[in-house]
Structures are given as structure tokens and as C-alpha cells.
Amino acid sequence: MNRAWFPVRLMPFSDHFQRDVQFLRLVHREPDVDLVTIALEIARDSEQNLDFAPSLDILHRAVSRLTHPVTQAGSDLEEIKLLVRYMTEELCLHGEDSGLPDPDAHYIHNVLRNGRGIPISLSVVYLHVANELGIPLEPVCAPVRFLTRLNTDHGNLYIDAFDQGRILDEPECIGLIRQLSGLPASEVRRSLRRADERAVVIRMLQNLKTIFGRHEQWVDAWRVQCRLRMLSPGSWRERRDHAVLTLRAGRYGEAIELLEQELKVCPGEDRPFLQNHLRQAQKLLPGCN
């Protein structure tokens, strides 16, 4: 029998991630998780035998090469200029500028391999190397464009890893996000706050969910959604999407149980939507026997 038909209680979806030690530490809200390792654990969903070592070696080499120059730098600005120069000239990191980014641009091992990435995957590389060097770079989940920030005595400096590591002051950063998002300056300013590791990983996963959904890669989208539900167990939207994507991934028995559970607690406006998906699952399940 296909194990996808077993009831949810007999095969918790979290079992798929038992070897993802850093991701599970994040789920359990443990401190000091390693974002790079979590990014590699997520990438392993699409490449089961992924070897983390080559990516970690590249990052270790970057830290080793930059340690002496950074200790000799005369200012915060000079430190991040050295970081940006290495990221863009030695690692050749740059934004994936095609209209529909390849899923590979989301995965950090591919970013380090070919240099192309989306803002958040590029920024995670900057964050890791900077923090290993003692540069307290912070993640910022700005609308439309993920950034990193360094608090200095002369004000905040932002790095746009997607745009060749462009360094911006606060007014320039607000102008950029306003241009990209169309939001008023007051709303942009409120969004420019430090993000914790959980928020960063959720944004990474939401990006993947969007692109897999666009490409109708439902099994990949389901794996991502399982992670999102683990990180946000109280979110109705994530529970609803998990039930629906379980159906679309062809896991009909699990989908029936999940949809029945969510129909007991769903908002009234979502009830017809979930009932329709439950009927679909009930029709499809017998044909898989």
C-alpha cells in the first residue's frame, strides 16, 4: 500500500524533516540557529543527496580570506566595502534578473555555484560571512526587496545584495523600497526593522511556495508548505494551504483527514472552498487502490 494513504496521525508530515537538525531547532524556538545550514536543509528537499561540504567550504574560505583585511579596515563602511567586493568579484554574486526566476536561484548551494540568486538567498551569504567576521550585519525583510543592514555611529547602512552589493544610507533605502513597492515612505520606514531567523526562513519558504505554485510543481510546493505549517502552527492560512496542497500533491488519504479537520474550525467564507477540495479528494482516493 502507498504510505501516502496512511492517516496523518500514523505518519506525521514532520517525519520528513527529521535529519534537518537546524530547521527543527528553529521550529522548537531554540537560540542561535545557523541560517546557512537551514537554507541547505531546505535545498536538500529538491536534491536528496545534497552534500553541504562544498558550500560550507566556499563560505569558510571567504571568511579566511577576509579576516585580515577586515581587521585592518578603518571604519564600518570600509568593512562592508571589503565584504561587498569579495562577494561580487570573488564569488561573483549577482541578482537573477529574468522575469521568472529559476527555482535554482532560491537555493544557496546553487547561488554559491553559479553566482545567481534572488535577494534573500544572496543576502544569507552576506549575513553568514559578515557575522563570522564579527560584522554585525542584520537581516531586514523589507517589502519586495530583502536587504541587510549595519548600524553605525553615522546611521544605518543597507546592502542590496541583488544589485551588486549596492550600499545605501537610510534615505536611499527608503527611496528604493518606495520605488519598488509603491508604498508611502512612512510605511516603508516602519518595515525597516531587524528580522529574526524565523521570519527570514518563512520568507524563504514563501518565495519557494510561490514559484512552485506558479510552475504547478505540487509535490515540491507541498514539502515547502509542510515546513511553513511547522513554523506557524497557529496560522489558519498555513493550515488551510497545507490541506489543499496535500491534495494537489496526490496524497489523497492525508488530504481527506486534513480537510475534515480544517472544516471543523474554518472561517465561514472558506467553507465552500474546503468542501470542494474535500469532494475532489474523496472522488480521487478510490481510483488509487
Tens-place pLDDT, residues 102-137: 788 999 999 999 999 999 999 999 999 999 999 999
Asked whether residue 12 is domain-assigned, the answer is yes
Q: Tell me how far apart the terminal alpha carbons of the chain are, to the nearest angstrom.
A: 8
Answer for the pair 259, 245: CB distance below 8 angstroms, yes or no.
Answer: no
pLDDT value for 153:
85
Sole residue written with cell 534537518: 20
Q: Cα dihedral angle (224, 225, 230, 234), rounded to 10 degrees?
A: 150
The domain boundary, picked from 191, 226, 250, lies at 191
Side-chain half-sphere exposure of 32, counting CA atoms within 13 A: 2
CA distances for 133 relative to 73, 88, 94, 137, 182, angstroms: 12, 17, 21, 10, 36
Task: Provide the pLDDT confidence category of residue 257 given band limits of 50, 70 and 90.
Answer: very high
179 in the same domain as 68 = yes
| Selection from 158, 128, 62 nearest residue 70 by Cα | 62
Query: Is residue 246 a part of any domain in this protein?
Result: yes
3-state secondary structure 6-59: CCHHHCCHHHHHCCCHHHHHHHCCCCCCCHHHHHHHHHCCCCCCCCCHHHHHHH
Tell me which H or E stretch contains 85: helix 76-85
26 within some domain: no
Largest CA distance in the chain: 70
Q: Residue 182 is part of which domain span? A: 34-191
User: Does any domain span residue 29?
Assistant: no
Statement to judge: residues 12 and 44 lie in one domain: no
**For residue 133, which amino acid is it?**
L
Q: Are residues 230 and 158 in the same domain?
A: no
Query: Based on the domain organization, do 165 and 45 belong to the same domain?
Result: yes
Residues 70 and 10 in one domain: no
Do 249 and 121 lie in one domain? The reply is no
Number of domains in the chain: 2
Residue in 201, 222, 218 with CA at minimum distance from that of residue 29: 201
Is 224 strand, coil or helix? helix
Are 50 and 184 within one domain?
yes
Q: Are residues 107 and 224 in the same domain?
A: no
pLDDT band at 286 (very low <50, low <70, confident <90, very high): confident
Considering the domain architecture, whether residues 51 and 154 belong to the same structural domain is answered as yes
**The C-alpha cell of 25 is what?**
531547532
In the predicted model, is pLDDT for residue 1 greater than 90? no
pLDDT at 66 exceeding the cut of 90: yes
Q: What is the DSSP letter of 195?
A: P
Residues 73 and 186 in one domain: yes
For the residues 244-265, what does the mean pLDDT come to? 95
Q: Are residues 150 and 203 in the same domain?
A: no
Average pLDDT over residues 229-246: 95
- Inside any domain, residue 28: no
**Residue 113 in domain:** yes
pLDDT for residue 8 = 37
C-alpha cell at 27: 521550529
φ, ψ of residue 12 to 5 degrees: the values are -55, 135
Domain check: are 226 and 284 in the same one?
yes
What pLDDT does residue 289 have? 52
Determine how many CB atoms are found less than 10 A away from the CB of residue 232.
15
Question: Is residue 237 domain-resident?
Answer: yes
